[in-house]
Amino acid sequence: MTDEHNFPPKPQATAESLADPLGFMEVEHAWHDAVTRWIEAVLDGLENRPIQAEAEVMVEFLTRDLPRHIQDEEEDLFPLLKERCGNDSSTKAVISRLSEEHKLDEDLVDFIIADLQMIAANKRVPNLMRFFANASGFAENQRRHLAWENQTVLPLARKSLTEADVKTLARGMAERRGLSVE
């Protein structure tokens, strides 16, 4: 299904790739950006063709991959950053803005998933325009969110996290993926 629909190939987490957890986050961000563009392209063709099979891969991304990535940030990266740079008001503001966006995305994603599950089951969604608006809004939010994380958060983390912090982050991310790192 993945090849048939050109869904961007998923980065594979390994003990080696997670040894550089910030590098792996960057790789996941590049993938999220590709997925976002793919979703936009699918939405562009929405009125002309069915998207039943594509809906299934979107559901998997939204229910599994993205929430896990958000957990990496909320449970490991952001707390570590707050510990190192918590006194800096602009850092605090950026982190709380991104956390807010994670929560808003969760709400939006719930609506999108409900519609996608209907599409995947070949049922009519109650309001196709609402689905389109939610999915387009999500894609737009993602782009802005990714830009902030790539341009501000990851460079700051590279500068300020200690070696022990990086290991803590790597361990948390590995655990969520059923792996272990030293």
Q: Which residues bind Fe ion (CB under 5 A)?
A: 73, 149
Give least dist CB 29 to Fe ion, A: 6
Give least dist CB 30 to Fe ion, A: 11
User: 44 vs 107, which CB is nearer to Fe ion?
Assistant: 107
Give least dist CB 167 to Fe ion, A: 20
User: 55 vs 69, which CB is nearer to Fe ion?
Assistant: 69
User: 44 vs 110, which CB is nearer to Fe ion?
Assistant: 110
Give least dist CB 41 to Fe ion, A: 21
Residues 6+ apart with CB under 8 A from 14: 179
Residue nearest to Fe ion (CB): 149
Provide the sign of the torsion angle of the four alpha carbons 135, 136, 137, 139, taken in this order: positive
Residue type at position 124: R
User: 20 vs 44, which CB is nearer to Fe ion?
Assistant: 20
Q: Which among 33, 49, 38, 46 has a CA at the least distance from the CA of 3?
A: 38
What is the four-CA torsion angle of 109, 114, 118, 121, rounded to 10 degrees?
A: 80
| Interatomic CA distance for residues 89 and 87, integer angstroms | 6
